[in-house]
Amino acid sequence: MAKNIKKQDERKSNIPTEQETTKENTLYYEEGMTVQDVADGFEVAVTEVIKKLMGLGVMASKTQSIDRETIELLALEFEYTVADKQVTDVTRFDEIKIDEDEEDLEERPPVVTIMGHVDHGKTTLLDTIRNTTVTAGEAGGITQHIGAYQVIKNGKKITFIDTPGHAAFTEMRARGAKATDITILMVAADDGVMPQTIEAIDHAKAAEVPIIVAVNKIDMPGANTERVMQQLSEYNLLSEDWGGDTIFCNISALTGEGVENLLEMIQLTAEIEQFKANPNRLASGIVIESELDKGRGPVATLLVKNGTLKVGDILVAGDTYGKVRAMEDETGETLETVPPSKAAEITGLHEVPLAGDSFMVFEDEKQARQVSEKRTHRTWQDEKGVNQAVTLDALFDSFKDEDLKELRIIIKGDTHGSIEALKASLEKIEVEGTTIDVIRASVGTISETDVTLAYASGAIIIGFNVRPNAAVRDTAKEKGVDIRLYNIIYKALEEIKMALTGMLDPIFEEVVTGEAEVRDIFKVSKLGTIGGCYVTNGVINRDSLVRVLRDGVVVFEGEMASLKRFKDDVKSVREGFECGIRIDKFNDIKVGDVIEASIEKEIPRQ
Ligand code: GDP
């Protein structure tokens, strides 16, 4: 396949051209098409279509809609091909279905997922296959870096996706992405069909992926392959021996018996299904894994489904985008190009996409950025109200049903020194069975991007001497992202430690009630400086704690000395009104400062 890859500029774009969306003698199918629409598509009189329909035994008027199957039958009569209506909106690139010309298509390796009940031998089989076949990179014995690998059998490649459990597969399918071509359904012969076996069957069937049954552990004394066949027949998986059309392979993943045959059956299925792709197009495919790497930034394993991916390509993955900086295969080998059905780990994205996200290469960086921005906005709207975030208060409870107790933290602070000190101390916290992962630590105020990252990765945000503005606070609240603000390191460490041990007593929490902007300064010799302020949101109370923010950085924290409307002392001033604020022991107010007012409020434990 690789030999046919043309120069970069010869790879076709992923954005369907006018020509590609309006091929001759092609009817572009859309759901709900009426007889009239179909006639227009065929460029014939509607009566002709109605007549043909009658011939097929279908009575329909011109305004009635007809199903795709019937349209396909009609198309045969009118010598048309039926194709899906093309999506041309690039912000919905994951829905674009490129209608490749047959002559551009080349055979590609099948992508295989192994599913089945826990302990039925999935991991063992993947290990055995990897160790007994030549891996596509080098020969044998290589530590695998990414959740996919390729093996060569009879000179042909097979790609295995090796992401833990069904989660990835289920997730991907739930999100409409189809990574797999063939499913291996593993059933241990000594255990038989179990709940997760049935789940796996449901997923494979719903995804319309061919299933090959691997009856495992045939070396075990209690192995009963007939029983497995019997049980699976109840789910319409009837063995060829019994007159059905499902391939059953008896194997021992442990000893390797039957594994060669299983690989041959995979290749046989691939031959029948004829998996093809066009390598001479810009790549598109699916994110199968992703993480934020401390050194390398966002890292994603991409499975190329169509086209060829190259270093330097600009792509949108899910809602994020970037330029491919480097690519590696499962053996850690550096790659320049990645052909269809191959997975590679890439760096260069701006943020971490989600497993199951689609990706597509764009020619134009600006367009990619715009698409990414639009998609981020849309996802955000969709997710409003859905709270899957982590909070310190509920941390211990959420730990209870997880094996790996990890607290992810984003640190924002006023100086490099303070965030480094905080990060180092946090990472030193030792609470048995837990780990702390600081996924981002940088100087600056807490931004929307921080909140988005925290939300996507289930992290909390710690602000050290910095404060989020009202908009960021609202976003965090909407998404349920926990922002904790400190100005003393030990206080932060203490709270985190307590949260990890489940001993946190969040008795008091500071609640910001309002903000005022300093628009004028009055120096009064006996009193000090008074800020002529405008309340931009909420309410400012006379007994508030106040914080003076300059460009998002806390410059002073303390109490209010006086709050006045014109000449009168007042208890509170609401949004939209002006007031004079004097701060106890602080005379350095400047125009443009923001005065944040808060109160201490008792918060009941959740
Ligand atoms: P998974 O949860 O489906 O990934 O299952 P594993 O691959 O972790 O296997 C679970 C257990 O079954 C392990 O102890 C394996 O060594 C064992 N096992 C897997 N395949 C076989 C097999 O073919 N024969 C025998 N005797 N044991 C097996």
Tell me, what's the pLDDT at 6? 46
- Say if ligand 1 is within 6 A of residue 375 CB: no
Nearest Cα residue to 239 out of 215, 259, 217, 258:
215
Place of tokens 């194997």: 251
pLDDT exceeds 80 at position 540: yes
Burial of 57 (0-12, 13-18, 19+ CB in 10 A): exposed
- Say if ligand 1 is within 6 A of residue 284 CB: no
Phi and psi at 478, nearest 5°, equal -60, -40
Percent with pLDDT over 90 in the chain: 44
What DSSP element (H or E) covers 41? Answer: helix 35-42
What distance in angstroms lies between residue 139's CA and the mean position of ligand 1's atoms?
A: 25
Rounded average pLDDT over 230-234: 94
- Say if ligand 1 is within 6 A of residue 216 CB: yes
Percent with pLDDT over 70 in the chain: 87
What distance in angstroms lies between residue 121's CA and the mean position of ligand 1's atoms?
A: 4
- Say if ligand 1 is within 6 A of residue 516 CB: no
Structure token pair of residue 253: 């993943």
Q: What confidence tens digit (pLDDT) does each residue in 33-49 have?
A: 899 999 998 999 999 99
What distance in angstroms lies between residue 177's CA and the mean position of ligand 1's atoms?
A: 29
Q: Hey, which bits of 57-209 come out as E strands?
A: 81-84, 106-107, 111-116, 134-135, 148-153, 156-161, 182-188
Which of the given ranges, 8-22, 199-213, 258-272, 521-535, has the highest pLDDT on average?
A: 258-272
Burial of 397 (0-12, 13-18, 19+ CB in 10 A): exposed
Tell me, what's the pLDDT at 389? 58
What DSSP element (H or E) covers 463? Answer: strand 459-464
pLDDT exceeds 80 at position 144: no
The more confidently predicted of residues 252 and 460 is 252
Q: Of all atoms in ligand 1, which is nearest to the CA of residue 117?
A: 3
Rounded average pLDDT over 148-174: 74
Tell me, what's the pLDDT at 606? 40
pLDDT exceeds 70 at position 503: no
- Say if ligand 1 is within 6 A of residue 354 CB: no
Tell me, what's the pLDDT at 261? 97
What distance in angstroms lies between residue 207's CA and the mean position of ligand 1's atoms?
A: 26
Alpha-carbon distance 176 to 358, whole Å?
9
Tell me, what's the pLDDT at 387? 40
- Say if ligand 1 is within 6 A of residue 194 CB: no
Rounded average pLDDT over 215-243: 93
Which of the given ranges, 70-74, 200-204, 499-503, has the highest pLDDT on average?
A: 70-74
Sheet containing 111-116: give its strands across.
134-135, 148-153, 156-161, 111-116, 182-188, 211-216, 247-250
* pTM of the predicted model as reported, rounded to 2 decimal places: 0.59
pLDDT exceeds 90 at position 395: no
Rounded average pLDDT over 263-286: 95
Quick one: three-class SS letters along 552-571? Answer: CEEEEEEEEEEEEECCEECC
What distance in angstroms lies between residue 251's CA and the mean position of ligand 1's atoms?
A: 12
pLDDT exceeds 80 at position 385: no
Which of the given ranges, 65-74, 124-133, 380-389, has the highest pLDDT on average?
A: 65-74
Q: Of all atoms in ligand 1, which is nearest to the CA of residue 257?
A: 23
- Say if ligand 1 is within 6 A of residue 252 CB: yes
What distance in angstroms lies between residue 407's CA and the mean position of ligand 1's atoms?
A: 32
What distance in angstroms lies between residue 104's CA and the mean position of ligand 1's atoms?
A: 43
User: Which protein residue's CA is at the shortest distance from atom 19 of ligand 1?
Assistant: 121
What distance in angstroms lies between residue 181's CA and the mean position of ligand 1's atoms?
A: 24
Q: pLDDT grade, residue 402 (50/70/90)?
A: low
pLDDT exceeds 60 at position 166: no
Per-chain mean pLDDT for the chain: 85
Q: pLDDT grade, residue 75 (50/70/90)?
A: very high
pLDDT exceeds 50 at position 183: yes
Look at 123-127, 400-404, 448-452, 555-559 and tell me which has the smallest mean pLDDT.
400-404
Q: Of all atoms in ligand 1, which is nearest to the CA of residue 116?
A: 3
